[in-house]
Structures are given as structure tokens and as C-alpha cells.
Amino acid sequence: MTPSSAYLTLQGIGKQFGGFTALEDIDLSIQRGEFVCFLGPSGCGKTTLLRIVAGLEPHSRGTLVQDGRDISRLPPAQRDYGIVFQSYALFPNLSVADNVAYGLVNRRQPRERIDARVAELLALVGLPGSGSKYPAQMSGGQQQRVALARALATSPGLLLLDEPLSALDAIVRVRLREELRALQRRLGVTTIMVTHDQEEALSVADRIVVMNQGRIEQVGTPMQIYREPASAFVADFVGKVNRLPAIAEGERWFRSGDFRWQCPPGQGADFRSGASVWLYLRPEDRVLDGLVADHPEACEGRVRQVEFLGGNCLAEVDLPGLPTPLQLQFSLNQMDEYQVREGGTLRFALRS
């Protein structure tokens, strides 16, 4: 991938607030049509980075190139983007249609063209015929659809979304993120969304930029970020993970308390025997069935607690010699099959 094929390139972006470094050495290329999420904990700098892309915040160092043009010094109004904020930020005294039309009116387009475009946009976001309503008459989810229609009105090259779903309740949030993803695919608009919600990022993004303390920890597809985290921070932040102190025993074997585990070929080969390491194991990385009871590495633990998560359950299992319980995920069928019960015992081995 050559740098020139990117739609948006951030080169060495840095940001100081007085003596505080909010962003340091951010290098990132985003392809045309990509859906990219900036993901990280509160204060990691993701909103500041989005605001720098929008020109709402000046950066202290580096260069921004959009569609082959250096936009580093361009004021926001001259940049080609639409933006949606967390708080819907609609004009309360304007009708829905006038809110959506706002950017078009500013561009002095003829009224009939504007009306037709507004109707098209409202249909696009699932609110046909709502133009005469006012924001206060709409739910949070509906207001955010209007904000999205407004951001898309001028057919911007770049759609910027700053935690657009985080003020909505769980059901609306999930439905809207699915719709947002489908809409983005349909329009092919290059999109950056800021979120602190890892599940949201995993479900919508083509690529995720994981940020921590003003730096990029990892850039990758959701699958890469989840399956091949580049650092302990990424493994901890994205998805649930068991973190176990362990000793390397050679040939990819590790011991943690009574528990022994061999990691897959190609991983963990660099550790000399006796080295202290941290094992990171996902709750779903396990084998458990009748055969496994005879497995030479099977271990037995006591089920401390079971958390019901809807489609599956998370069991916390105390194992001899381990400082914290191991979290293991089971489908509801497996819960019945293996009789996973609070206070019960469980014999299992983990998959390599």
C-alpha cells in the first residue's frame, strides 16, 4: 500500500495542551471507503485526534493530507467532512428538515433541489416524512439519525463520528450501529468513529486504531486486534482476558499453579525454560468434554460464580495455585451438558 493511495494520511501528528502532551507521533493512513474506529480509554486522546482531523483543534506538530491535499492549515469550513457529535447538537428552534438542510442552504442551492435532497436523506436514515417535526418531539435515537442525515447532506468525502451512540440506551445503540454500518457500506463514505466501547468498534470497523495515553498501540482489523493483540494493553482493553503469572517450561509449555498449557505452534517459542511470563487467555479459549476429563493436562477447579450474559455464560473457576479465578465462557447448551453450576467442580483442559 503506497502512501499516495490513502484518502487521509496523518503524519507525525502531535498535540500539546500547555505542558501536557495529549498526542504524540501519530502516523496513520486511511483508505477511501474505510470505516475506522479510534478506540481507547477515557483521556487517551481519541476525541482530540478527531477534532484535529476536523480542524476544530489545531495540532502542534505534523501534517494532515486528505485526498492528496495538505489540509493542515485549512479552517474547518473549507474541509470536506460531515460530523456527528455525542450530544445530538441539532438546532432546537429549526424543524428536522431545516436542520438537515442547514449545510445545503449555506451553499446557496435552489430550494427545490434542497427539498428533494432532504427528503432523500430522511428516507436514507429511516425517517421519511419527519421533516416538519422539531428535535424535541423525537427520541434520542431519532435525533441522532437526523444528525447523521445533516452530516451527510453535502455528500462529504469524510464522515466523522464522535461517540455518536453513547448517549443512547443499549437496544437503540445496537440497532443504530448496525444501520450505521450498512449505510456506510452503501454510501462508501470514508468514516472515522471515536468510541470507548470495544464491542462497538469490533462490530462496525474495517480497522481499529487502539490508543493509549496519546499514542497508537495497534492498528488492525477487528480480528487481528482480538486474536493477535500487539501489547498487554490491547489484550486487556479489547475483549475479556485471563492474565495469569506463569513459568515457561520449554517446548511452548507454560505452568501457572497446577495448571499447564501448551501454546499453539509459532507462538511462545522464544521463552527459555524457567522464564517468568504472563499468559493471556481468552475466556472462550478452552476445551471441555467427556474425553478431556482423561486429558493429561486436565485440571479441576471449583466454580465460584456464573454470570449470565444472554447467549452464553461466563464462569469464574478457582484453580489450585492461581491467584485469581479463571474466566471461562460457555454456551447455554454447554452449561447444561457440563453441568456448570456455582459451587460445583469442573474438570477441563485448555485447547492449545
Residues that bind ligand ATP (CB under 6 A): 17, 20, 22, 40, 42-48, 196
Closest distance of CB 17 from ligand ATP, Å: 3
Cell numbers at residue 224, please? 487481528
Q: C-alpha distances in angstroms, 196 versus 133, 233, 272?
A: 32, 14, 37
Q: Of the two residues 19 and 265, which places its CB atom closer to ligand ATP in the complex?
A: 19
Cα–Cα dist 177/331, whole Å: 25
Q: Of the two residues 59 and 117, which places its CB atom closer to ligand ATP in the complex?
A: 59
Q: Of the two residues 212 and 242, which places its CB atom closer to ligand ATP in the complex?
A: 212
Cα–Cα dist 205/192, whole Å: 9
Q: Of the two residues 72 and 213, which places its CB atom closer to ligand ATP in the complex?
A: 213
Q: Of the two residues 117 and 196, which places its CB atom closer to ligand ATP in the complex?
A: 196
Closest distance of CB 162 from ligand ATP, Å: 8
Closest distance of CB 53 from ligand ATP, Å: 12
Q: In this structure, is the dihedral angle defined by the CA atoms of residues 50, 51, 54 and 58, taken in order, positive or negative? A: negative
Closest distance of CB 44 from ligand ATP, Å: 4
Closest distance of CB 302 from ligand ATP, Å: 38
Cα–Cα dist 332/335, whole Å: 5
Residues 235, 260: contact at Cβ < 8 Å? no
Tally: H helices and E strands in the chain: 9, 18
- 182 contact partners, CB below 8 Å, separation of at least 6: none
Q: Of the two residues 238 and 281, which places its CB atom closer to ligand ATP in the complex?
A: 238
The closest residue (CB) to ligand ATP is 47
Closest distance of CB 253 from ligand ATP, Å: 40
